[in-house]
Amino acid sequence: MTDKLKRVIGLEIFANELRAAEVSGSPTEISVDAHNSVFLPDGIISDGLIAKPELFMQYLKNLLAENFKAKHIVAEIISRNLILRLASFPKVAPDKQHNVVLLQAQDFIPIPLSELELSYVITGESTAE
């Protein structure tokens, strides 16, 4: 059985530029099917935050409108205001996941949760306790 990668777009967001590359293939042989970049005017991203979201979305849509077919995007966001933590939580029903993350997140994040906008993504499951 071959491990075929889905067609995916990698997106990098900088203060003054957006870059995208669409890749496909297998883990041993990846091909770049399309790539593009666009410069952003000053003020769209300020101090690591998207200051003008409507304008930002215009540039992002224009960037992806040409030559890209994939529907999945993997983004790299470079910002001093972003904290990323990988954590393991007990498996619970989907309707209870948010509460479990909120209850245990403070153990993984060095800033009071009341000062943050918390977002999470479940990336996989393990049978280990």
Q: Rounded to 5 degrees, what angle do the CA atoms 124, 127, 129 make?
A: 110
pLDDT at 80: 67
> What pTM, to 2 d.p., does this model score?
0.59
Confidence bin at 126 (pLDDT 50/70/90): low
pLDDT at 21: 92
pLDDT at 1: 42
Q: How many CB atoms lie within 10 A of CB 128?
A: 5
41-83 pLDDT, tens digit per residue, is 999 988 777 889 999 999 999 998 878 888 888 876 666 666 6
Q: Rounded to 5 degrees, what angle do the CA atoms 55, 61, 62 make?
A: 90
pLDDT at 108: 80
Question: DSSP characters for 27-93?
Answer: TTEEEEEEEEEEEPPTTSEETTEES-HHHHHHHHHHHHHTT----EEEEEE--TT------------
